[in-house]
Structure 1
């Protein structure tokens, strides 16, 4: 398969508690993480809250500047690129956040929100952009009338569809989903997951799916990486991780998955 992303010994450390009379202490949110990702593949990144998985996702996109290590995207080392140098690459690397109500501008209509990526990257005429917005709404199963409405007028699942539409607007190659369904009802989760899987297949997207929910990760992932205190303690195919976990921490996570059928047994 064709590798699109390689992470080598990536570190993201923060200094906390620093002041005039305090030296401060280092929080090792991401501490020496390495993995690769192929085009069209989904890597599930799983672990407890606070293990560093969301920080890892944001560091890969250079929303945080890495402390050390390498981020190689399509063969190019982007680790030390400036914000200006990163700008052309932004359209190829997108993220869907957990809370769409916070990540969507509440003062903008949905039409304005979805048109913004095209405006920022100076793509298309006003008429073309309006048409593309309607096509995006159709892709995420929202009516064309949504263009004149505001985020607060939609349900949580509908807002997440808007967030997904914005993320795929510029036809990215890498999509990071950061707890993208964790705030939704179970029935709505299934709808959003099926939408993401459909879009991934259609667009040949490489996806990093971040979640604390192992049952969801199992459903969407080709491979799984288990994260614990800033490090990846185990990674492998989804089948191998769920049927024959090697790390003690992975086994503990799997044992915590609720049993939904009386005949179901955890590995």
Structure 2
């Protein structure tokens, strides 16, 4: 059995909004009690609508944002309260790939300078060794060694994302958070980047947390999937079980919205009514109750806990658990 490399226990991230002299500050409950674990060499897909807290989970577990509450375990070590200086040594093992590579790459630096930065920060290797490693990194992600002398604006979106991936794997990490890593790319380029990530995962035994809103993309790359709604996980299962037997009404709606080319294979589209509640004032009961056709008084007043419905299949729904 692969070892558990990451474990989150009731993780919370509440962002404070600026108050005033006479008003208390309000909070955005971006992440409100998320728990899951990821094993070495495994991919967890994290899906949900925009604003559900997916990216906040990714950045908080890496401690780019300090958690409000809960615990983060990396390789069995509780890193929740580690200071930024104490986190430096772990940064080599925990990396992130951002959604927009152009925004995350310094346009004034050459690609060689950008890729050399991780080695410089951690004082690894001599300058001549770094040059060799940079060429190997570029070749590993499908770019020529000559790319080291060029600038980010000289590359396409897909090529820039390959550079972002090269930077993420430079120090041989064990865990990478892919924060909407293919959302800004054309469909044909998306498949190339996903295949590249899968190849690197096999070569390096990487654990991936793949954050996206496109379920069809997540299905292709993930071993298991967590569905988020308004800061909480509403369903968590291995990929095939989730798609063959979704339990939560929100998951069913997301799956029904996946485009299917063959009209004979299309199922009935589940249309959701109403708006997502504000993350500044989440309702007291199930957060999905105002949009759920199955909701009753229990759903309106009591939030369902994430409960094991079947083997390795967790769902937070009073109706699903009771059936």
Q: TM-score, normalised by structure 1?
A: 0.98
Deviation string 1:102-156 (CA, Å, 9 cap, x unpaired) is: 0001110000000110010000011100000000000001011101100000000
Name the residue aligned to 1:209. 210
Name the residue aligned to 1:224. 225
Contact between 1:254 and 1:266, CA under 8 Å: does it hold in 2?
Answer: no
Q: Distance in 2 between matches of 1:39 and 1:61?
A: 16
The Cα of 1:17 is off from its aligned counterpart by 4.2
Quick check: 1:260 aligned with 2:243?
A: no
Helix, strand or coil for the counterpart of 1:28?
strand
The Cα of 1:255 is off from its aligned counterpart by 1.1
Name the residue aligned to 1:153. 154
- Let me know the Cα RMSD of the aligned residues: 1.0
Name the residue aligned to 1:38. 39
Q: TM-score, normalised by structure 2?
A: 0.81
The higher-RCO structure (CA 8 Å, 6+ apart) is 1
Name the residue aligned to 1:78. 79
Quick check: 1:193 aligned with 2:194?
A: yes
The Cα of 1:25 is off from its aligned counterpart by 1.4
Unaligned runs of 5+ in 2: 269-323
Q: Distance in 2 between matches of 1:163 and 1:266?
A: 38
Unaligned runs of 5+ in 1: none
Deviation string 1:151-200 (CA, Å, 9 cap, x unpaired) is: 00000000000000000000000000000000000000010000000000
Q: Distance in 1 between matches of 2:172 and 2:6?
A: 17
Paired positions, count: 267
Name the residue aligned to 1:27. 28
Name the residue aligned to 1:234. 235
Helix, strand or coil for the counterpart of 1:263?
helix
Q: Distance in 2 between matches of 1:174 and 1:256?
A: 31
Decide which structure has the larger Cα Rg and report it. Answer: 2
**4+ residue runs over 2 A deviation:** 19-22, 262-267
Helix, strand or coil for the counterpart of 1:35?
strand
Helix, strand or coil for the counterpart of 2:265?
coil
